[in-house]
Amino acid sequence: SQQGEEDPQALSIQEGENATMNCSYKTSINNLQWYRQNSGRGLVHLILIRSNEREKHSGRLRVTLDTSKKSSSLLITASRAADTASYFCATHPDLGAGGTSYGKLTFGQGTILTVHP
């Protein structure tokens, strides 16, 4: 079963605009990660935020995490046509959940982002 739900399912914007994607999850987590996937190929790790962090930046990316609401958002500023891809959040379970949870990175449904030149 999938841990995360993302919205919107699809987002279409113009180059230069900002894109915001949201992710919600259900169980306690150790960390939350965001990945990008181009054209159904491999996933690229973008950014990781730990459960005790609230905000993290990497270049044009800004991720927030609200553990009380079990939600995260990914903001891409000044978007480019090359940002067109599917974006997935993925959660790593709280290590207190037990040894059988170690390594169970679970992906949300994803947001398809289209940036028009």
The site for another protein (CB under 8 A) is made up of: 2, 30-31, 33, 35, 40-45, 48, 50, 88, 92, 95, 100, 102-110
Q: Which one, 104 or 116, has the nearer CB to another protein?
A: 104
Nearer to another protein, 29 or 76 (CB): 29
Residue 45 or 116: the one with the smaller Cβ distance to another protein is: 45
> In the bound complex, what is the minimum distance in angstroms from residue 32's beta carbon to another protein?
11
- Residue 40 vs 117, nearer CB to another protein: 40
Q: How far is the CB of 91 from another protein (least distance, A)?
A: 12
Give the Cα separation of 37 and 50 in Å (integer): 22
CB atoms within 10 A of CB 64: 16
Which residue is it, tokens 């290590």?
95
Nearest approach, Cβ of 38 to another protein (angstroms)?
10
Cα-only R_g, the chain: 14
Whether 99 and 41 have beta carbons less than 8 Å apart is answered as: no
Q: Do 24 and 68 form a contact (C-beta atoms < 8 A)?
A: no
